[in-house]
Amino acid sequence: MNNYKGPKLRLSRRLGVPIAETPKHTLVLERRKAGHGGGGSGSGKPRRRKQKSIYGMQLDEKQKLTFYYNIGNRQLRRYLELAKKDPASTADVLVELLEARLDNVLRRLGWARTIWQARQLVSHGHVTVNGRKVSRPGYNVRVNDVLKPRNDACKKTVSAYQATAVSATPPQWLTFDADKFEAHVVSSPKFGEIQLPFPLKTSMIIEFFSK
């Protein structure tokens, strides 16, 4: 998935859920709920969808997660193996690990509008963690980490993203000091506090990789 080069909106249309929290993607779900775009016969009636198999439903849930966090199947499997080693709920820990990825943290802070923009910021070395440049999007942040843009040019870019962010308030486990223009990881993300733009059946994802 992280090598996908096609139109990102197509991913939302494919699954019928917003893969990004931008108006362009959330409109897909709103239109579907309203019944627009469902008929292909010109009758105005919604097209009846074929009932999916259990495998098809598991695949959809897996794709929601990989598309939303912009990772590949191999990466997701690796995160799942790490989650299994934790005594807590495997499904909960899996999402918590993905939430702590550096590219996702930038999205949560509003430093990027989408996960793809966040990945680009990190890959190009525009962000520092504890004073050191980190160019790996999958870097997992830890409690007490301090994040800052590397230079003024990046700071201007981040400011522009923040001005158009869906939510200007970061989650409880992150804080942002506007005077110093730096973010702090004050705690680990908890599953109950994570808000995804769509419902997710994590048990189906675990079943998908258990075959």
Q: Which part of the chain is CATH 3.10.290.10?
A: 109-188
Q: What percent of the chain stands above pLDDT 70?
A: 85
pLDDT tens for 2-48 read 556 678 888 888 888 888 888 778 776 666 666 655 444 444 555 56
Q: 158-163 long-range CB contacts below 8 Å, 24 or more apart?
A: 158/111, 158/112, 158/121, 161/110, 161/111, 161/112, 161/113, 161/117, 162/109, 162/110, 162/111
pLDDT at 23: 77
**CATH domain 109-188 topology:** 3.10.290
pLDDT at 51: 82
Average pLDDT over residues 54-75: 94
pLDDT at 24: 78
CATH superfamily of 9-38+50-97+198-209: Ribosomal protein S4/S9, N-terminal domain (1.10.1050.10)
pLDDT at 144: 98
pLDDT class of 188 with cuts at 50, 70, 90? very high
Name 131's Cβ contacts closer than 8 Å, sequence gap at least 6.
146, 148
Average pLDDT of the chain?
Answer: 87
Q: Find the length of the chain.
A: 211
pLDDT class of 154 with cuts at 50, 70, 90? confident
pLDDT at 35: 60
Residue 121 pLDDT greater than 60, yes or no:
yes
More confident site: 30 or 128: 128
pLDDT at 175: 96
pLDDT tens for 83-117 read 999 999 999 999 999 999 999 999 999 999 899 99
pLDDT at 161: 80
pLDDT at 45: 54
Is 163 strand, coil or helix? Answer: helix
pLDDT at 36: 56
Residue 52 pLDDT greater than 90, yes or no:
no
Average pLDDT over residues 169-181: 92
Q: Which part of the chain is CATH 1.10.1050.10?
A: 9-38+50-97+198-209
Q: Report d(CA 170, CA 70) in Å as an integer.
A: 20
